[in-house]
Amino acid sequence: MSKVKSFQLFIFAMIVLSILFPFIGQTSTKNSDNDKRSDRIVIQLEAEVSKDEMPAVSFKHDLHTQAVDGKCVACHAQKDKAFIFKFKRTDTAASMELYHDNCIACHVEKKAANEPAGPDAAECRTCHVTGESKDNSSWEKITFDKSLHFIHESSGQIKSQDKSDKDNCSRCHHQYNEKTKEIFYIKGQEESCSYCHKSVKQDTIRPIGEASHDACVKCHQTLKDQNIAAGPATCNGCHDKEKQLQIKKIADIPRLKRNQPDVVAITGWKTGNKPEKTFMNAVAFDHKSHETKAISCKECHHETLKKCNDCHGTEGGDLKGGFVSLGQAMHKPDSTRSCIGCHKEFAKSSDCAGCHFHAPANKGNSESCKTCHSLSQAQLASKTPAVIAKIAKMALVDHSAGYKPVQEDKIPENIVINVLSSEYKPSSFPHRKMVQAISKRVEGSRMAKAFHTDEAGLCMGCHHNSPKTLEPPKCASCHSKSGPALDGRPGLKGAYHGQCITCHQKMKVEAVAATDCAKCHEEKK
């Protein structure tokens, strides 16, 4: 068969297929709308989804709010002068007919008025698109940090449920009585909303998204209807990344009123009990100082603000704490809520990362454990909580007071590195200037001073895996001039460049670029 006839048959076959199967060659409706939006929400009926049902609807909420000129009443009913965040209903369950009848009717009405409108009854796949909301949403979770909390706490427009109460905490915080099915408030026992309201519905408890919108957005909208300045009532107002950056930040925030201690002694035994000899020494913990570093109490306390011992206090852990003991909770390296995990994150800052990027904490260093576990059982035995707090406070003062920078005359001023001086002249390394620059950064951190009390401690950042001394061995003692070792140690040239260049990058030393070879060693002519 000739090439011409083959081509003609191919064209004929394609024409027949296009008539019988007109969808061939058409672009899939999946991801047809590439506009990433923060207001995309999923409309899906609570009934179990069967294989015959259409995909959930990706609904652009703010777009529809604009279409009705911001009149929420166009879609939402009102009760007690506040909007109900259910579509066209109050307490009844949603149905497919409810959405189809009302949405399509509005679209038809808009089209008749020559206004931009949505699809009609014959265009199902315009709304029901697989994967649309997941792929094209720019929704960002908003963190209700201490600044936002203070803005609400200090607002004169947010009134307490109890008029005799000066604070307005009861307006948002509450507990639930399972027997009477009523909410109530106890002063001093406020918890995070997500302590009860999880990401998905739990039995009869609403998910956090529904509860927070019903409380926050409803309050914002109610105030705005009274011409009172309030927070956003649109999706992007809270969940758009750029909008979040515009939210006012309060720098000097008064301490939260929760009867929390300034300083505590964290022990593996309950106060008043006689500890066993096998217990580790207690830890003096500066609670007040840590509050200033955290963006919210949930940084450490999960959703509940109870004491760590309440959930992790038993030796083997219990159900409340997920069977995680206190020691495990405080030392979990991959959790930012644990002491060790949080300290590891802190060590990634530019002031610390120059040394810590290749020198992880030594698990076998018992001296490091003593930095925190400094309160002996004998010190705390039979002491009242008030006395124990005083002992812990004094221990914290001793922690940072023990820091002593290396005396200037014990730091070599310049070191000439000439082992590899073939193509370049020897490098003159301003050793003293570098050590003092690192020391200055450490002095600004109480935590760093507590862990680097030994004057040779900072030297270990560069002189890693060598004895802790002010006269450490030369780099060539471990790194070969001929190249990498079989055990994975880099050669001397790789060690120098890896150490120095990476340290400059981690500590943001912009004066010395990684590509500026002549900055450290002048090229031979």
- Report the range of poorest mean pLDDT among 90-104, 155-169, 356-370, 387-401: 356-370
CATH number of the domain at 405-466+473-519, out of 1.10.1040.10, 3.40.50.300, 1.10.3470.10, 3.90.10.10?
A: 3.90.10.10
**Considering only the top CATH level, what class is 146-245?**
alpha beta
Q: How confident is the model at residue 359 (pLDDT cuts 50, 70, 90)?
A: low
Can you read off the two tokens belonging to residue 328? Answer: 């495990």
Is-contact 312 329, C-beta < 8 A? yes
Alpha-carbon gap, residue 173 to 182, rounded angstroms: 13
Residue 489's identity, in one-letter code, is R
The full 3-state SS of 286-350, as one line of letters, equals EHHHHHHHCCCCHHHHCCCCCCHHHHHCCCCCCCCCCCCCHHHHHHCCCCCCCHHHHHHHHCCCC
In residues, how long is the chain? 525
| Joined tokens for residue 30 | 């999946």
Q: In the predicted model, is pLDDT for residue 308 greater than 60?
A: yes
**Can you spell out the DSSP letters for 439-462?**
HHHHHT-HHHHHH--STTTGGGGT
Angle at 78 between CA 89 and CA 169, to 5 degrees: 115
The domain spans of the chain are 40-135, 146-245, 263-399, 405-466+473-519
Q: How far apart are CA 29 and CA 26, in angstroms?
A: 9
Q: Which residues pair with 177 in a beta bridge?
A: 182
Fold (CATH) for 263-399: Cytochrome C3 (3.90.10)
Distance between CA 261 and CA 220 in Å, rounded?
Answer: 34
β-strands 263-266, 283-286: how paired?
Answer: antiparallel
Amino acid at 198: K
Span 192-210, pLDDT tens digits: 898 899 998 888 888 999 8
pLDDT value of residue 18? 46
Its pTM surpasses 0.85: no
Q: Which tens digits make up the pLDDT trace of 4-50?
A: 455 455 455 544 444 444 444 433 334 446 678 999 988 888 755 45
Q: Which fold has domain 40-135?
A: Cytochrome C3 (3.90.10)
* C-alpha pair distances (Å), 215 with each of 29, 38, 219, 221, 296: 36, 20, 6, 10, 20
